Amino acid sequence: MKRLTTLMLGVALMAQTATAQLALDKKQNTGNEQSQKVTATIQKVNDYWQSHNSPKCRAFWDNAAYFTANQKVYQHTQKKEYLDYAIEWAEYNHWKGATQKDKSRWEYKTYGEGMNHVLFADWQICFQVYIDLYKLERRAERIERTLEVMCHQASTPEKDYWWWSDALYMGLPIFSKLYTITHDQKLLDKQYECFKWTDSLLFDTEDQLYYRDAKYIYPKVKTACNNGKSFWARGDGWVLAGLALVLQDLPEDSKYRPFYIDRFKKLAEGVARCQQPEGHWTRSMLCPDDAPGYETSGTAFFTYGILWGVNNHILPQKQYEGTISKAWKYLSEVALQQDGSIGYVQPIGEKPDPTRTVNARSQAPFGTGAWLLAACEYCEYLNSLSK
């Protein structure tokens, strides 16, 4: 009788193990299938963009933001066409941003698209792409200008380089990315010094969000919702995504890492509280009435940042899985158009502007780039769920 009982227990245990294994296999297969579908969509979106836009365009922020995402897509798919497209763009721009040679004429304190604005982060974001391309094929000319500009900036006494929130995506990550090549501690010291200055100026500790720049700090600008604070979605999207980029390259033992992680976590919490039921974030984060309707660029940058945080065990999955699910539903069912274009992108601007049209045909390189970043990170998320 004892042997029979033992045998029956053994059979039951084997059955439970087999059932558990089948469930695990099903979960893994489902996750892999979903990831493959998203990857196919990523390629459709990137193919659409590259077939409709020449790589022979300037290296200013609007185009360069797309190319930072194209690098991520290349890493994800290994499609040589995407790499060739990036190299053609970099070569067209001679591996430079703003081209002024005379350092005494280099500017950054005001907005500027001219060649003197060498230290203006909107002309420096291209360096992120050049560094990535250098790592693939270590040809000195690819980062010669990057080293000249960023090492000069690291040696200056000024710390007010990033006076607007967008700069925390454009300029902030360059220092830690370049550090992975040079291992020069001065780059990380300068990065932190400048970030602390920006953070002290623009971060609102109560709502855990960043103002776009000093012009919008409450009560200078008030929303239609109880005269409240005005936070611009794409501005905060730049910051969350930028912090994710910094943390990817910052050494694990860096003394600065805890502060970046603290701000990343707090910003993610502030962002998640503002998500709309449909999954997107409105242009005015705390007051949808200021600029109602869908908006993709801020939404996609938020989705990318939160996904990266979850995938890298900085943000808790259980806390953010609902946020991710709703955001991806919006990105894949509303922002994504049937032809592979990405719509509902607010045009170039600096605030939640209701006078600017945002619809299904509103496209921009930085909006497509933001979507691609989020989609690539979503694939990683699906793969992690299937393990």
Asked, as a colleague might, if the bond just before 55 is cis with ω within 30 of 0, I would say: no
Query: What pLDDT does 311 receive?
Result: 98
In angstroms, the Cα distances linking 364 to 61, 113, 349, 359, 368 are 12, 18, 12, 12, 6
DSSP string of 339-381, one letter each residue:
TS-B--PPPS-SS--TTS--STT---HHHHHHHHHHHHHHHHH
Query: What pLDDT does 28 receive?
Result: 58
- 53, containing H or E segment: none
C-alpha 380: how far from chain center:
15
Helix axes 185-202, 144-154, angle to 10 degrees: 60
CB 191 within 8 A of CB 175: yes
**By C-alpha distance, which of 183, 59, 162, 71 is closest to 119?**
162
Which residues are known catalytic residues? 166
Per-residue pLDDT of the chain (387 residues; tens, 9 = 90+): 566 566 566 665 665 655 655 444 455 566 789 999 999 999 999 999 999 999 999 999 999 999 999 999 999 999 999 999 999 999 999 999 999 999 999 999 999 999 999 999 999 999 999 999 999 999 999 999 999 999 999 999 999 999 999 999 999 999 999 999 999 999 999 999 999 999 999 999 999 999 999 999 999 999 999 999 999 999 999 999 999 999 999 999 999 999 999 999 999 999 999 999 999 999 999 999 999 999 999 999 999 999 999 999 999 999 999 999 999 999 999 999 999 999 999 999 999 999 999 999 999 999 999 999 999 999 999 999 887
CB 354 within 8 A of CB 292: yes
Query: What pLDDT does 386 receive?
Result: 82
> Residue length, the chain?
387
CB 149 within 8 A of CB 102: no
